[in-house]
Every structure is written in C-alpha cells, then in structure tokens.
Structure 1
Amino acid sequence: MGILNIGVRALQANQLALQTAGNNISNVNTVGYSRQSVIMETVEGQFTGAGYIGYGVSVVTIQRNLNEFLTRQSTLAGSVKAADVTRSEYLKQLEGLFEGGSGGLGASVNEMLNAFADVASAPTDLTARTVALTRVDEAAARMRSSSLKIDDLQQGLAQALTQKVATINTLAQSVAEVNHEIIKINGNGQSPNDLLDRRDQLVREINQYVQTTGIASQDGGLNLFIGGSQALVLGVQSTPIAIVADEFGDITKSKIAISRNGQSFTLDENTLGGGEISGLLRFQNTDLTEGRNLLGRMTLAVSTAMNDQHKLGLDLNGAAGGNLFTPATFGTSNIRIPAAPATLNTGTGALALAIADVSKFVASDYMLQFTSGTTGSITRRSDGKVSTFDFGTTNPVTIDGLNISIPSGTPANGDRYLLKPFSTSAGTITSAFSTPAALAVASPVSGRMGTGNTGSMQQTSLVARSNPVSATPVTLTFTSPTSYTRSDDPTPATPFSHTYTAGQAIEGTYPATAPLSEWSLVLQGSPKLGDTFTVGPNQYPKLNAGNASAMMALRDKPMFDGSALTDGYAGLISQLGIRTQSAAYAAQVSTTIAANLETNRTAVSGVNLDEEAGKLIQYQQAYQASAKVIQIAQSVFDTLIQTMAR
C-alpha cells in the first residue's frame, strides 16, 4: 500500500535524523568536528487522473556544515597568532635575562668605574686597589653570566625547533594517510564527513607550527605547500622537513629545509608566514641575535676602553699598565670565527677584523658580498644599510668602528662573508690580573707651572695619549696672552708662534696629525708675557692618580649610539623592551582576530546544544507521527482484509 510505504520512508528518514542529531550532541566537545545535517527530498510522485500522488520522503545525504572560506581564514589567523604569541613569549624571556637595579650588569659597570674614585683619593692604598680589581672581576663575571643565559635560551630554542619539526613531519604523514583513505572511497558518491573533519583538523594543527597553502585535487586529496611553493604533502606522499644551518654555518642561526627526490631545499624564513616555527626562527635569527650583539657590543666597548686607558697609566713600580680584561682576539680558537665564508664561495680570500673606534660600534652582524677580488658591498644586517668598499684603494676598510682587511687569499666574484664581531665577546671575557700593585692609576705625564708665572693661567686637564711619553719635557713659553712658543719647535732659533685659546686642547704630538700620541693639555685663564708651562714624564708615580681619574671620566664618554658609557646597559634594556612591547601588541591583535574568525567558523560548523535539542523534539514528533501513519495504514489494511473475508 502507498500509505504504508510513505510511513515507512518517513519513519526511516526521521530515525536517521534523530541519529544524526544524537551524533552531533555526542561530539559537541570533539575538536575539529563539523556539525552534520540530514538532507531530505521528496520522492517523485505518481501521475494519476486525479493528479500526482506523493510517495513520501527520502534521505539524499548527510551534509557536513562547513564554510570553506571561513575555515581557511580561521586556520590562517590561527597560524599568524601562533607565530606572534611564540615570538612574544620568547622575547619576554630574553628581556628577563637582563636584570635591572643593583643586581644588573649596568650597576656592576657603574660600581667598577666608581671604585676608581677611592683609588684616586689614595693611590697607594692597596685595599682601595683590591676593591677596584674586585669590581672589575665582578663586571666580567656578570657579562659572562648574561652570555651564558643567552646560550641556555638558544639551546632551549634549538630543542623546541627540533621537536616542532618532528611534529610537523608526523602530522604531514597523517594527512597523506587520510588522503589515501578519502581517495579510495571518493567514488561512492557520498562525502566521508568524519575523514574530512579529521583531515581539516590535521591541517589546522600543522598550521599551528607552519603556515600552509592547501589545494584540493580532483580525486579528493588535499595538497599542502609551505614556503610559498614547496610541497609538504602531495596526494598520498609527504615530504619531510628538517632544521639546518645557514649558508655560513652560523651555529646561532637556523633554517628550515625540505627534502625531495634526494635534494634538500632551504626555505627563506620570510616566506614561511605564520606558525610557531616561523615565530621561533624570527626570534632566534633576529631578536636573539640583536640581544647577543647588544651585550657583546657593550662588553667589547667597555673592556676595550678600560684596557686602552689602563695601558696609559703607571703602576706602583712605575711600569706601564697592561690589560684589565682579556682583550678581543678575533678568529682565535677560543672565539667563534667572526668572518665566516659562505659554503658556496669559490675564492680563497680570508677576512680579518680589528677594532678601530669603540665609540662607533653598532650592535649588528655584517655581510660582505664581493663583485670582484677587491670590490663589493657591505650590508649591515640590523637595518639593511648598504655600503660599498674597494680593498684595492682602502685596506683595511673601516665601518662602524671596525677595520676589515684581507690578510690572505683573493675572494672571487659572488663570494660572501658573514661578519659577527660581537656574538661571543661577553662569553669569553675575564679579568686579566689580580695584583693590586699592578693597577696602573698614575699618569705617565705631569705638568708644572713656571715658578715666575704672574698670569691667571691654570691647568684644567692633562691626559696621556701614549705610554711612555717622550723623555724630553716640552715647555710652553707665552709671548702674549694669546700666543706661545714650544721648546720642541723644529727651528728653536726662529720659534713658531702658536695661538693660545683658553679651554682648547694643546696636543703633545707636533704637528698634531693623526694618530695623536704623547699627551693632551687643556689650560684655562689668561697668561702673562713670559709665563711658562712644562709637560714631561711623571717622576713620582706613587703619588699620582691621574690615570684613575681618567678611568673615572670614561663614565661620561660618548660610547653607545652617542650615549654615555654608563648609559649603555639602559640603552640595551630599552631596545629589547621596545621589541618586547611591539611583539606583545602584535600577539594581542592577532589573538583577537583569530578568536573572532574562529567564532565565525564555529557559528557555521560548531554544534549548538540548544539547537540540537530543538531538533530532537522536532524529529521525535515526526518519528511518532510517521509511526502513527504506519499504524493507520495497518488498520486500513486490516479493515480491508476483514471486508474481503465476508
């Protein structure tokens, strides 16, 4: 009977609808599950003289509720969020390594310089000298400690990268396996909803680590690409990725490489987009590098300036001072090679670094690219500034207080070199000695006013530019309030008249050409005719503390981007703080965007319990009504049988 068939079809359809609603409810907390709906259609009716008579309902398919656009947007936003949040979290860790206050490196440097005040007041006091050396050792220890903390962070970062790459490879293999299952059953005409949900969830998980681009194939598979165009998954095959060193073999940098057909292709991190690995690589290759260089620049500048000034002094025995800190030794076995050649270089050139001027240091690495054996360009990696060079004309080439030379070999056209002058300065620094008597706080040069002077001239400062100074004293004899002659004039018989300006330095080097040596004198006041001032070797080093005062004066010397030496640590913290705040803001914005897009996606694909509860009631009533139709059909059939039996 037609009415019975209609009832049976309706009963089966509504039973399936009830089952689907129950399945939705049971998977309300299943990650990646997409709400399913039963799609029904009317069974084509039969034509009669009275018109078309309906034959009930049938189920066409179980539809997965999904908006492809929203899903892609949500996945992409989640990937960007993962990159921003990861970088922000690591930047907070890096910022936390540089302690402020009395326990920080800046306070240690200030205490070291201030300790020379007591030595200046009592140059023969061995206790004051011991305290100064102790402060030097403490400063070196804090610099090493800060470097060690960065190395520990680097090591943890490397482990995190390795683990995440392994996870990506596992997930990519799972996507390939799901592709295989989908392709096998793709020809039956129905959508494998659960497999598609599983694959989409795997893709979302991969995008938490690295951003992918998905392209569907006609057989139902999904191909995934990373780094712009490198295939991570092609159909039922996945391609493994790995962590590799960069082209210069820099152990502080990492790259992602993908292997295909026996060949390895290194990916540009700028093309990776979002994902935790992208955030980690950006932090490691940019932020951590800057933190390491800022610390290394400060260490190298402070230690070199202190060493240079200490060498200009005399100890208690009248001997010239040595190094307070171990000096920078670029390229030796105890420091990473600061001028590493690229692995594809074909020339034989080797580069060497030396310090030219610590006050011009910029916290950066440098890349040299040769266009011939002597010419090329230098790129400062911190800001991308490019300068040209020609070793054939100028050797060494000077940039940002560094001298670059080619001691051996000849580079070829296209050869590239990575210069890392500051990366290991803090990790290798130590105090050079610990003997209080060897602390060179006396100046090797002294000045004295003529006993018969009648003017108002006074000595403001007298500092040594070399040690030892010439054994022959130089006497300045004033011929007027604005002119003088020198005893070291080339032609004493016809002395040259020099112009005197109060407050202007008078150099011991004559004529005053670079590099300056001997000493530098500053006088104030107005001399009278015949007044004299004599500069010569210091005869009483035990009673002099001129070099201690000069070391104290380093506190205000412009050193770090024009700031004073004592402000170097504050500048370091400030630069890292700006990066950290910027990254935190970016993470906040991307988190908000990702949350909004995920809300939009789940509004379409997610399970709403209230909605499903309403559907349960709807389908239950329809099921009961369908059963009633069958019951009525049965009653009608029974009545018909009884009538025919009479």
Structure 2
Amino acid sequence: MALDAFSTATAGLRVTQAQIGVVSQNIANVGTAGYVRRTLSPVSSGTGNAGVATGTIGRALDAAALKQLRSETSGASYTSLMSKTRSQLDTLYGRPGDSTALDGVFNSFTLSLQTLAANPTSTAARATVLSAANDIATRIGSAANGVQALRSGLETQLDIDTEKANSLLAQLAKLNTRIVAASAGDPSRPDLEDQRDQALTSLSGLIDINAVTQSDGSVSVLTSSGVTLLDRSDAASLSFDRRGTLSANALYDPDPSQSGVGTIVATTPGGGKIDLLASGAIRSGSIAAAIELRDTVLPQAQRQLDDLAAGLSRAMSDRLATGTVPTDGTKGGFDIDLTGLSAGNALTLTVQDGSGTQRNIILVPSYQSPPPAIPAGNTDDANATVIPFTIPQPGPGRDPATVRDAIAAALGGGYSVSSAPGGAAGAMRILSTGGATLVAASASVTQVTSSSDIKGSTTQIPLFVDGASAALYTGSFDGGSQLTGFAQRIAVNPAVVGSAGSLVGITGTGAGSSTGDGTRPQALYSALTGTQRLFSSSSGISGIDAPTRSSVADFVQGVISVQGAAAAAAQDLDEGQSIALSTAQGRFASASGVNIDEEMSNLIALQQAYAANARVLTAARDMIDTLLRI
C-alpha cells in the first residue's frame, strides 16, 4: 500500500510540476502579442485509473472568436485607409468659406466680375479679374494634382502591401511544414501555432481571408471570394506591376496591356496565374481599400475637378442652346440653334420609348473622318447612347446644310433634320418620324472660333484655355479626351492677359462697343452663377447615376459638399469599425488571453497540490522506514 501511495504521489508531483511550468509560462507571456494561453490537462493511468500522467500542452483557443477577430481586422484596415485618404482628399479643397479654399477663390472671381461690370473703365478692376481668374485656375489645378499624388501614393502602398502579403504567405507555408512535422506532444508546437495565427491575423489586415484547418494540423488560406492562396505547404506567389507616378489618364482596365495602373497577380505553385483585381477576389483589408480609392473614389474626384474646369471655361466661351417647340404648330420635335457647333460640342437628345422610359442620345461632333470612338463614361451621361459624327470646321465657308446632313446621318432612321424656318443659319429642326419620342434637346455651343478670338461681337470670351497648348477648350475628343486632366491644364488665356480691355470692350453691334461697357463681365457673371449647365453623371454630384444640372457656382458647392460628406461618413464608419474590432479583440482575449489574476489563483492551487503530494511521499517514506525497522 505504501508503494502504491509512493507511486501515485510521485506521479502527482510530476504532473503538478508540469502544470506549474505551464502557468508560469502564461504569466511570463501576459503581455506578449499573439500569445494564446496554454493549458495542460492530466490523464488518468494505472490499474483502475488510480494513477495520473502528464497530458499534452494545448492552447485555450476560441476558433469562432479568432475568425471574428480576423474579419474585423480586415474591416478595420479597410475603413482606416478609406477614412484617412478621404480626409486628405477633403483637405485638398480647403476649409469651406476660407478665402484660399476652392469656394472662396471662386467667389472672389465672381465678385471681381461684378466689380468690373459696375466699373468697366477701371484698369485695376480688369487686373483684379485676371488675377482672380488665375487664382481659380491655379486652385483647381492644385487640387487635381493633389488627387493624382494620392493615387500615386496608393500605387506605391499597393506595391508594399502586396510584398508583405507575399512574405506572409511564404512564412505560413513554412510554419505549416514545421507544425505538421511536430508531434502532438512537442512543446514547440503551440509556439509555432501562435506564430501562424499571428501571421494569419496580419494577412487579414491586408486581404480578407478564410483560414481552414486541415486534419494534419496545417491550414489552407482562401480569400473570402474563394481563391486559394495557400494549400498546406504550397503558397501562391503575389506580384504587383507598379506603374509609378500616375496621371489623370492612368486608369484601371481589366486588360493589363491597356491598364494605366498596376494589378495584383497570384501565381499558383503549378504556374497558373489569377488576376485578383479583374476577378474581384479582394473585397476587404487595406489592399481592397487602396484599390477602390485608386480606381474609383479618386478618379471620380478628378472627374469632378475636370467637369468644374470645363464648366468654368465653357461658361466664358459657350452659349447654351436649348430645343424649343416649333411656333408654327409642328409637333414631334424641337428647333435648336447650333450655329458655331465645334468638335466636342455634344448635342444631347432626350427620348422616350413607348413604355415611358427616358434615355439620352448624345451626338458628338468631330473634325476627324472617321470620328474617334467615344466611351459613354467620358460624356455627360455614362448610360447614354453615344454617336460620334464628322463635321467641317466652323467658319464663314462652312455650309450649315453639311452639319444638318451629318446629324441626320448620325441619327439614322426614325428622325428628320431640316433647317428651322425663320431661324439663324445654323438653326435646325429635329423631328421624330417613327423613332422614340423626342423629349428635350440641348447643347453647349462654342461661340468663339479660337483662343485668339477675344474681341468678337458676342459676350463670350475665351478667358480660360487648355494650358498645354493654349488651345480653346471645346470638349473635343479628337486626339483623345480634352476633358480628362483638364483640371491640371486649365489656364488664363495669354491673349486676354495681353489685352485686358477685351474683358469689357466688344466690337461691332449688339452687346455694345464702348470700352466702358459692363455688358460682357455682367454676362460672364450670370453665366457662372445663374445659367444652368449640364454636368456629367460620372462626377457623382447628384448622388444618382444621372447628369447634374446646376450653375457652375452651385457645382463648386456641390463638389465641396459631396467630398466633405463622404469624408465624414468614412470617419464615422471607421469609428464604428474600430469599436467592432475592439469588441472582437476583447472576446478573443477573454477566452484565449492570459488573465493574470486567474493564473495566480491557479498557481496557488497547484502549489497546495504539490505540497499535498509531497506530504503523501513523506508519509509513505515513514511507513516504509517503520516496516524496515520491524
């Protein structure tokens, strides 16, 4: 009996000592990142399970809490980068109301026009208009350059994050190999599993992943969309073809040969390649946020600034032509004056089919033959039917009939185009003769022939030009979209700077001829603040996928309002996600983290158990000694 007690107490001491070692290890790693609390559960042994043996060391892991933690980590990384970048974007426009902010500089420009209209003979007022015009052009260009700087920074960040993800996958593959090789009782195995879980959590901050534990102890890693990145010890290799500094023309295209930005490609161990961007495989994490910002959010911000620059320029040089119902009682269409129609002066026809559904047909004139193909997204309505057509360049020698014939040919059957009775030479009548019903017609028609045409008989003047070539802005697509990147290129016309009197001096008849005539600056002011213009659906100002109709002044406010609201919403979302992440971390820590109070309590209990086993040994020894002395 004494020998049985001796054996049992010895086993108990051995187990208790091992348990004390585990508890001591937990206490020593209470602040170690990624450490999961260790447990050791003794197992019964011997005849009738009267004895005890040391079990294996395990980890107190809550798999559900760990999965939630990785999901929230992905979400937090996504919202953090989104909030940070949107706040930086909002800062580019300045604080609303400040004199140096976008709206403040624009208001200064419109105020200078009012001042000049009230005092057209003032040389100082003319100089102020030119200075204010230069300020608004510079401010728009500065904001647009900032947008592209943010995109270039994200391109660099994507390169860095892709390399991090690639390194983590390679690390996970090695850890899988070592964990599978380690036996269940190997004391190094929990440490390896801790390292693997920490690597998986780090990877989840970059890409939304789903880790699947295999029967041999290894894990496979898939994106939430189902693309396998790691299968036990076989890891995909991720690569990113960074493009460097980005411009407004550098946009994403699923075809790598046509894309102006980099894409992420996963190369499987077998040599297969998967474009993770084209397949939409990455949906959360910092990489997903960087992709969305670079390819969607910031290009839309660039488009807003391009539209603003174009609207500012065309408000100075264009006349809005709106279709009117024929006064002679003819039904089924509109009369519209397209005198001076230039390349890029799109004619928008709103039509309605038999079900009442409305859509836009956009006719885009070109000087090229054949005309260039024009994506709908580069026009005012991304959902419109876009029809490019060729016209002769405007001038005294152009026959208006050629323009009418070109429009008729572009529209095809179902419509007729003729001269408008009693209208100007360039006025035409467009009627529906069997096609969809015409609901509206409009165009922005350039009224000056070139950037040097600054003293015409109309109130329009090419105050702003395309600074890359000092060319007149008409929205042309000949040689590429003139709109794309125009925010960086808009500049005050050097011809107007060299002849400030052209701001008020209008030769000929009609609007006046005196250098003291305030008609032109007043008309320019009205064109900016009162005239309703059409701005593209791609700018997203209206909040719906449809063109926005507003004055240039209201569009400026719309840009600032939309970006400010988006930045605030991103910040709120990030704060909410931070709370969700904190909650997930707390849940995981409560089950798998080290609680120092609990561990100290366990240590005291184990010390008492150790002392009890020691007393049993002492008693057994005394019994044996007594027996030996008999």
2:605 aligns to what?
618
Letter in 2 for 1:430: A
Change in CA separation of 1:429 and 1:383 when aligned onto 2, cut-off 3 Å? closer
Matched with 2:61 is 66
CA distance in 2, matches of 1:195, 1:571: 55
Aligned residues of 2:475 and 2:482 also touching (Cα < 8 A): no
Corresponding residue to 2:231 among 203, 222, 234: 234
Tell me the distance in 1 between the aligned counterparts of 2:78 and 2:505.
56
Q: Which secondary structure does the structure 2 equivalent of 1:246 belong to? A: coil
Please point out which of 439, 447, 455 is paired with 2:502.
439
Provide the rounded CA distance (Å) in 1 between the counterparts of 2:147 and 2:374.
31
Higher percent of residues as strand: 1
Separation of aligned partners in 1, 2:378 and 2:218? 42
2:254 aligns with 247
Q: Give the TM-score of the pair, scaled to structure 2.
A: 0.69
Paired residues of 1:80 and 1:273 also in contact (CA < 8 A): no
Alignment match, 1:304: 314
Distance 2:75 2:199 in 1: 17
Which residue in the other structure is 1:290 paired with? Answer: 300
CA RMSD of aligned residues (A): 3.7
User: 2:530 maps to which residue?
Assistant: 556
Matched, 1:182 2:179: yes
Deviation track 1:328-367 (CA, whole Å, cap 9, x = no partner) reads: xxxxxxxxxxxxxxxxxxxxxxxx9824379x9xxxxx9x
Contact 2:476 2:482 in 1 (8 A): no
| Paired letter, 2:618 | Q
The 5 A counterparts of 1:49-88 are 55-88=50-83
Instruction: Give yes or no for contact 1:75–1:207 (8 Å, CA) kept in 2.
Output: yes
| 8 Å contact from structure 2 (residues 92, 146) kept in 1 | yes
Q: 1:566 to 1:612 in 2, by over 3 A?
A: same
Q: Could you tell me whether the CA contact under 8 Å between 2:155 and 2:261 is conserved in 1?
A: no
Q: Is the 1:186–1:220 Cα contact (8 Å) retained in structure 2?
A: no
Which aligned pairs between 1:396-407 and structure 2 lie closer than 5 A? none
2:290 corresponds to which of 265, 272, 280: 280
Cα pair distance change 1:567/1:124, threshold 3 Å: same
1:15 to 1:582, Cα distance in 2 relative to 1, 3 A: same
Structure number with larger C-alpha Rg: 1
Structure 1 residues 406 and 588 mapped into 2: Cα distance closer, same or farther (>3 Å)? closer
**Matched residues in 2 for 1:542 and 1:189: separation?**
95
Change (3 A) 1:421 1:38: farther
| Residue of structure 2 equivalent to 1:520 | none
Q: How does 1:156-555 map to 2 (within 5 A)?
A: 156-186=153-183, 192-226=189-223, 228-244=225-241, 246-247=253-254, 253-260=261-268, 261-268=270-277, 270-308=280-318, 354-356=344-346, 380=377, 386-388=383-385, 395=410, 422-433=483-494, 434-437=497-500, 439-444=502-507, 446=509, 540-554=513-527, 555=529
Q: 1:446 to 1:384 in 2, by over 3 A?
A: closer
Q: Is the 8 A contact 1:126 1:436 kept in 2?
A: no
1:250 shift after superposition: 7.2
Amino acid aligned to 1:10: G
Q: Residues of 2 paired with 1:612 and 1:382: CA distance?
A: 68
Q: Decide whether the 8 Å contact of 2:505 with 2:514 is kept in 1.
A: yes
AA aligned to 2:499 is: P
Q: 2: CA distance between counterparts of 1:40 and 1:287?
A: 58
- Give identity over the alignment, percent: 22
CA distance in 2, matches of 1:136, 1:42: 89
- Matches of 1:6 and 1:117 in 2, distance apart? 102
Separation in 1, partners of 2:623, 2:443: 105
CA contact under 8 A between 1:67 and 1:605: conserved in structure 2?
Answer: yes
- Residue type at the aligned position of 1:557: T
Contact 2:376–2:386 at 8 Å: present in 1 too?
A: no
Letter in 2 for 1:68: A
**CA positional deviation for 1:111:** 2.0
Q: 1:103 aligns with which of 100, 104, 115?
A: 100
2:34 aligned counterpart, secondary structure: coil
Residue 378 of structure 1 and its aligned partner are, at CA, apart by: 6.3
Moved more, 433-442 or 58-67: 433-442
Residue identity matched to 2:607:
Q
Aligned pairs, number? 483
CA distance in 1, matches of 2:233, 2:573: 37
Cα distance in 2 for partners of 1:156, 1:377 equals 30
Deviation at 1:26, TM superposition (A): 0.7
CA apart distance, 1:89:
1.4
CA contact (8 A) 2:347 2:441 kept: no
Higher alpha-carbon deviation: 29-38 or 391-400: 391-400
AA aligned to 2:62 is N
Q: What are structure 1's unaligned runs of at least 5 residues? A: 47-53, 310-351, 361-365, 367-372, 409-418, 448-462, 464-537
Displacement of 1:82 after TM fit?
A: 1.4
Q: How far off is 1:583 after superposition? A: 1.8
Q: Residue 630 of structure 1 aligns with which residue?
A: 617
Change (3 A) 1:386 1:136: closer
| CA distance in 2 between partners of 1:439 and 1:383 (Å) | 31
Structure 2: state its 5+ residue gaps: 242-251, 320-341, 351-361, 363-369, 390-407, 413-439, 445-473, 536-547
Change (3 A) 1:588 1:422: farther
Structure 2 counterpart of 1:586 = 573
What is the CA-CA distance between 1:158 and the residue it aligns to?
1.9
In 2 relative to 1, CA 607–188 (structure 1 residues): closer, same or farther, beyond 3 Å?
closer
What are the Cα deviations for residues 430-487 of structure 1, in whole angstroms up to 9, with x where unaligned?
212121345242345546xxxxxxxxxxxxxxx6xxxxxxxxxxxxxxxxxxxxxxxx
Give the drift of 1:546: 2.1
Counterpart Cα distance in 2 of 1:353 and 1:204? 55
Matches within 5 A, 1:135-154: 135-154=132-151
Question: Post-superposition shift, 1:593?
Answer: 1.9
TM superposition shift of 1:292: 1.2
- Name the amino acid aligned to 2:522: S
State how far apart, in whole Å, the 2-side matches of 1:382 and 1:9 are.
83
Please say if 1:569 is aligned against 2:595.
Answer: no
CA distance in 2, matches of 1:123, 1:609: 82
